[in-house]
Amino acid sequence: MTTAFIFPGQGSQAVGMGKSLADAFPVARAVFEEVDAALDQKLSALIWDGPIEELTLTANAQPALMAVSLAVIRVLESEAGLSIGRDAAFVAGHSLGEYSALAAAGTFSITDAARLLRIRGDAMQQAVPAGMGAMAALLGAELDLARAIAHDAAQGEICEAANDNGGGQVVLSGAKAAIDRAIAMAGERGVKRAILLPVSAPFHCALMLPAAETMRAALADVAMQAPVVPVMANVGAAPLSDPDAIRISLIAQVTGTVRWRECVVAMQAAGVTRFVEAGSGKVLAGLVKRIAAGTTSVSLGTAEDIVNYKSQNG
């Protein structure tokens, strides 16, 4: 069985995530303590006690989700003998989850990943004035149709495919008026549903260019090692191991489409038969089931999940 470890992105946050891990396993508690120290903030208290409105702020949600994912990995290493280099063929993450994947594979330290994600979250939030951008999910649309709708809805404004999540789910991002036009057009083009998403900024489109420049500077200052296994990168949907190529890809990811469907297809084509989602929620495992028939997927986010996983995997 060939395994890929996958890491969730924004939207998977929940108050209390990771608490059972920290209570049961000192190595998990140490991850949260390291993130708190890196950010000079008691982020762990916000993660476990809320309020959800503050946790959901981009600058908090991004390092918080990474912390939970890396806590899962550290527990798997200590309790189940996991070695990413030995036991995984690839790592991959959805948007901010790509930083979690890279930290799990040794490219970034947890401290550097937390600081980068705080910078990234702040920069993405500040790139567009509040209320000027929006995102919408098109359900029952493949990428080509979504891109055609985005093109026709733009009318001189930014409107682009932000996430190709697979299973007929594509997210558009751009100027608020253009996204409103896209939602109106979607029904006329045969899209089952078009839903305005409750997000604070229009991620993964050209409006994020100021944030991409911020990340170019931030990534230039951080030590990066080659990952112990390739990362299946969001923007290229291709495996990367060279730190310079990874740096370039992470900068492009801020404004580029998250090609999640193609990432999963590529990993399956390379022989992956099992996907292990490490972190909060079960979103990615659900997407994998729709994209990669014949593979198995499991989500690990709680102490109970890991005990069950360990019993099933020796």
**Catalytic pick among 12, 44, 69, 95:** 95
Give the residue from 180, 199, 218 where a domain finishes: 199
H runs (alpha helix) in 131-282: 143-154, 176-188, 209-220, 243-255, 260-269
More confident site: 104 or 201: 104
* 204 among known catalytic residues: yes
Domain, as residue range, for 89: 3-126+207-312
- Of 164, 199, 234, the position where a domain reaches its end is 199
The one-character DSSP state at 193 is E
| Sequence-separated (6 or more) residues with CB below 8 Å from residue 156 | none
* pLDDT band at 250; cut points 50, 70, 90: very high
Calpha distance 122→127 (Å, rounded): 9
Q: Work out the burial of residue 189: count CB atoms within 10 Å of its CB; fewer than 13 is exposed, 13-18 middle, 19 or more buried.
A: middle
Q: Which contacts qualify for 294-299: CB closer than 8 Å, 24 or more apart?
A: 294/268, 295/268, 298/274
Specify whether 64 is located in the same domain as 33: yes
Answer whether residue 220 shows pLDDT above 90. Answer: yes
Supply 50's token pair: 């809320």
Same domain, 117 and 25: yes
Instruction: Give the per-residue pLDDT at 32.
Output: 98
At residue 226, does pLDDT exceed 90?
A: yes
Count the neighbouring beta carbons within 10 Å of the beta carbon of residue 40: 8
The yes-or-no verdict on residue 314 having pLDDT over 80 is: no
For residues 159 and 251, state if they share a domain. no
CA pair distance 99, 92, nearest whole angstrom? 9
Task: Render pLDDT for 106-159 as a digit per residue (tens, 0 to 9).
Answer: 999 999 999 999 999 999 999 999 889 999 999 999 999 999 999 999 999 999
Q: Tally the domains of the chain.
A: 2
Task: Report d(CA 254, CA 58) in Å as an integer.
Answer: 13
Which of 199, 216, 246 lies at the terminal end of a domain, its last residue?
199
pLDDT averaged over the chain?
Answer: 96
Same-domain pairing of 43 and 187: no
64 shares its domain with 105:
yes
Q: With 90 as the cut, is the pLDDT of residue 196 above it?
A: yes
pLDDT at 130: 85
pLDDT at 313: 80
For the domain that residue 159 is a member of, what is the CATH number? 3.30.70.250
Average pLDDT over residues 27-42: 98
Asked if residue 291 and residue 149 are part of one domain, the reply reads no
What is the DSSP code string of 106-145? TSS-HHHHHHHHHHHHHHHHHSS-TTSEEEEEEET--HHH
Q: Which residues pair with 171 in a beta bridge?
A: 137, 163
Q: Is the pLDDT of residue 249 over 90?
A: yes
Predicted pLDDT of residue 183: 97
Which CATH number goes with the domain that contains 72?
Answer: 3.40.366.10
Residues 212 and 166 in one domain: no
pTM for this entry: 0.97
299, 282 contact by CB (below 8 A)? yes
Q: What span, in angstroms and rounded, lies between the C-alpha atoms of 230 and 102?
A: 9
A 10 A CB-CB count for 49 gives 12
95 in the same domain as 52: yes
- Which letter, b or e, does each residue of 54-81 get, where b requires 16 or more Cβ atoms within 10 Å of its Cβ? ebbbbbbbbbbbbbbbbbbbbbbeebbe
- Catalytic residue, from 69, 204, 249, 280: name it: 204
20 is catalytic: no
CB proximity list for 237: less than 8 A, separation 6 or greater: 259, 262, 263, 265, 266
In this structure, the answer to whether residues 36 and 68 fall within a common structural domain is: yes
Phi-psi region of 227 (alpha: psi -120 to 50; beta: other; left: phi over 0): beta
